[in-house]
Amino acid sequence: MRKVRRKAAWLHEQGLPCAKEASYVKLFSTEAAQKIADTGMQLHGGTGYMMETPIQRFWRDARAFTITEGTSEIQHMVIAKELGL
Ligand SMILES: Cc1cc2nc3c(=O)[nH]c(=O)nc-3n(C[C@H](O)[C@H](O)[C@H](O)COP(=O)(O)OP(=O)(O)OC[C@H]3O[C@@H](n4cnc5c(N)ncnc54)[C@H](O)[C@@H]3O)c2cc1C
């Protein structure tokens, strides 16, 4: 994923089309962040769910990342379109 991330950044800097690469990166990164935050919540058990700890905030923020700036479903659609599927 690091190579794709660099390629997306490079294409963008060159002013070249980068929709497919940007969608790959957005989809992978936000889905990974959500899974990691969810595992963090699970590890902390009930404490992680409580408003007094930052874990619940990490979990909520990570969850929102798969919605904002183009949902995961829309990223899938962009990638499929770019691949000509
Ligand atoms: C914390 C937060 C901050 C935000 N900040 C901003 C901001 O600063 N500026 C701004 O403009 N907006 C902001 N938004 C709005 C955000 O961009 C939208 O919530 C996001 O684009 C999704 O649009 P929607 O909520 O209308 O969902 P909808 O478009 O109604 O989608 C609902 C569900 O249906 C799915 N879906 C929709 N269309 C299709 C399709 N064709 N095929 C398959 N599935 C589909 C979506 O993936 C999603 O799962 C923010 C949202 C949140 C939660």
Mutate to test the pocket of ligand 1, among 73, 75, 76, 81 (most ligand atoms within 8 A of CB): 73
Q: Sorting pLDDT into bands at 50, 70 and 90, what band is 2?
A: confident
Residue pLDDT, tens place only, 7-19: 999 999 999 999 9
Q: CB neighbours (10 Å) of residue 4?
A: 14
Judge whether residue 23 has pLDDT over 90. yes
Q: What is the pTM of this model?
A: 0.91
- Please tell me if the CB atom of residue 60 comes closer than 6 angstroms to any atom of ligand 1: no
Mutate to test the pocket of ligand 1, among 27, 30, 59, 68 (most ligand atoms within 8 A of CB): 68
| Cβ-Cβ contacts under 8 Å for 62 (sequence gap 6 or more) | 30, 33, 34, 36, 37, 38
Q: What average pLDDT does the segment 67-80 reach?
A: 98
Q: CB neighbours (10 Å) of residue 30?
A: 22
Nearest-CA residue for ligand 1 atom 45 is 73
Per-residue burial over 6-29, b = 16 or more CB atoms within 10 Å of its CB, e = otherwise: ebbeebeeeeeebebbbbbbbbee
Distance, CA of 59 to CA of 47 (rounded, Å):
13
1.20.140.10, 2.60.40.10, 1.10.3720.10, 3.40.1000.10: which CATH number matches 2-82? 1.20.140.10
Residue pLDDT, tens place only, 41-54: 999 999 999 999 99
- Please tell me if the CB atom of residue 74 comes closer than 6 angstroms to any atom of ligand 1: yes
Q: What is the CA radius of gyration of the chain?
A: 16
